[in-house]
Chain A
């Protein structure tokens, strides 16, 4: 019974935690501009994420070390310094977008500009980290995040042509505007394969004191959780393909998006959209802020745990405090949140090789993995993902300039 509950919780974690500002915004833009043509990039992104999550969870369960630990220990301080600098920069951008996303959700309800909401949102997010425990944050985020299933329900309500949806899941060349098409494909991949997601997951496995007995639940969580999580993003893309694409709507802000759910779900649509955007972004904001602390503390050997009172891991708790404070500035300054989201997803894609590449070596290191290292299948997958990551890194910035 306990195991079934754990597995259910694992799947909930995947579904409820999948959607955030980036995956929502990129899916909606893709649906509006290319109908169902880009579904394959969500499928590919979720599949890559599932493999990476499984591996980082296995690493944590077997070795009690995370990817950040191993990057420092295995590749040395200079490489770690490069990796952490890039990761903190990307985390800052994504966190700023998430804080803005929560602000926009509140703006939709209240009519008060998101700029005014930036500080209250940041304060509440910080307070929950300061006072809460890991379990509270992880479970709170994922259970409340189930509200994002509204996008799937909404999409099904409109009876999408399933044949077309299925065809969209197969990678293919664009029919028009290829720079923009590839730009969105890269953004979607960047949004799906977020480094913070598996860094957070691995730290969580250590927080929850996973061991060999958790390997199965780890596989289920990674496979089903991330798989079903991808369905939420596909729901948003399909909705947008059905509502925005035929009308030729260009998505230029989050404020346009509630209509996706009001068209399909009637008067429930607006509150469900606002709740989905607000909760998804708020949950992601907490996870990203916490992950910045994890990556710093693990790489530098500090005492760390979200379950300790802040006074017992001062550097750890001040790291997320500073991170949240800095990431409040863009929204406060009135930066266009959708543009910020798009840029942060492109940088997230560009940063992937630094995090994914080392996995290829770490997951085959006997000192960490003992007899639980990667088999040929996982190695092939992580090699392919690394290759994909390098391609994404190379094309992302040129595409941002050309197609963004």
Chain B
């Protein structure tokens, strides 16, 4: 398996098969000896911004801090929770227990559900 080819940017599915974003980043640990180890997968806009360049990344981090003082870092999924890597990456999590969908939930509650017919 190749991290960038097979994991980065792939669709993330929770254990129920619900979509929970794409793998926006992979966090590695470089030890003094031995090969680097994969620690986490990251999901979040701040991680994406860092991939576009250091300055955009720093700016996004500051914005995120202002908008969400508590949880402004990207959500991290420990590598040990990865259950399968095919065309999708399946992880042993339940999307509703994570905060990857905070924006979705906020928009649902504050915008979509205020428009008639949102539940059909």
A and B associate in one complex: yes
List A residues at the B interface (Cβ < 8 Å). Answer: 63, 65, 69, 72-74, 76-78, 80-81, 127, 130-131, 299-304, 309-311, 314-315, 317-318, 367-368
Asked if B51 is an interface residue, CB under 8 A from chain A, the answer is yes
- Using known A-B contacts A300-B22, A302-B19, A303-B104, determine if residue A65 contacts B118 with beta carbons closer than 8 Å: no
B82 within 8 A of A: no
A315 touches B22 (CB 8 A): no
B98 to chain A minimum Cβ distance, whole angstroms, is 13
A314 contacts B111, C-beta separation under 8 Å? yes
Complex-state Cα separation, A196 to B56, whole angstroms: 30
Flag if B87 contacts A368 (CB, 8 Å): yes
Task: Report whether A310 and B9 are in contact in the complex, using a CB–CB cutoff of 8 Å.
Answer: no
Q: Report chain A residues within 8 Å CB of B31.
A: none
Contact with A along B96-114 (1 / 0, CB 8 A): 0000000111011001110
- Listed in ascending order, the chain B residues whose CB lies under 8 Å from chain A are 8-12, 18-22, 24, 48, 51-52, 87, 103-105, 107-108, 111-113, 115, 117-120
Task: Enumerate 25 A-B pairs (CB-CB under 8 Å) in ascending A order.
Answer: A69-B11, A72-B22, A73-B9, A73-B10, A78-B51, A127-B117, A130-B117, A131-B117, A300-B21, A300-B22, A301-B11, A301-B19, A301-B21, A302-B19, A302-B21, A303-B18, A303-B104, A310-B112, A310-B117, A310-B120, A314-B112, A315-B103, A315-B104, A317-B118, A318-B111
Taking a contact as CB atoms under 8 Å apart, the answer to whether A76 and B107 are in contact is: no
In the complex, what distance in Å separates the CA atom of A78 from the CA atom of B48? 8
Q: Apart from A130-B115, A301-B22, A315-B104, list 8 A-B contacts with CB within 8 A.
A: A65-B87, A72-B9, A78-B51, A78-B52, A299-B22, A302-B19, A309-B120, A314-B111
Instruction: Provide the bound-state CA to CA distance between A310 and B119, in Å.
Output: 6
Residues of A within 8 A of B104 (CB): 302-303, 314-315
Cα distance A332–B115 in the bound complex, in angstroms: 23
> Taking CB as reference atom, which chain B residue is nearest A80?
B9
Let me know if B22 and A314 touch, CB within 8 A: no
A77 touching B87 in the complex, CB below 8 Å, given contacts A130-B117, A311-B113:
no
Beyond A63-B87, A302-B19, A314-B104, whether A76 also contacts B8 by CB under 8 A is yes
How many whole Å from B35's CB to the nearest CB in chain A?
23
Q: Is the CB of A73 within 8 A of B22?
A: yes
Q: What residues of B have a CB within 8 angstroms of the CB of A72 in the complex?
A: 9, 22
B119 touches A309 (CB 8 A): yes
CA distance A63 to B19 in the complex (A): 16
A127 / chain B contacts, CB cutoff of 8 Å = 117
CB distance from B110 to the nearest CB of A (A): 9
- B contact residues around A311 at 8 Å (CB): 108, 112-113, 118-119
List residues of chain B with CB within 8 A of the CB of A367: 87
CA A48 – CA B91 in complex, angstroms? 40
CA distance A222 to B11 in the complex (A): 28
Bound state CA distance, A88 and B115, in angstroms? Answer: 24
Contact yes or no, B12 A315, CB < 8 A: no
Taken together as a complex, chains A and B put the C-alpha atoms of A70 and B45 apart, in Å, by 19
Residues on the A chain within 8 Å of B108, using CB: 311, 314
A304 to B21, CA, bound (A): 11
A236, chain B: closest CB distance, angstroms: 37
Residues of A within 8 A of B21 (CB): 300-302
Contact partners of B107 in chain A: CB under 8 A: 314-315, 318
Assembly CA distance A299 to B19 (angstroms): 12
**Which residues of chain B are within 8 angstroms of A301 by Cβ–Cβ distance?**
11-12, 19-22
Q: How far is the CA of A12 from the CA of B104 in the complex (A)?
A: 36
**How far is B107's CA from A131's CA once the two chains are assembled, in angstroms?**
18
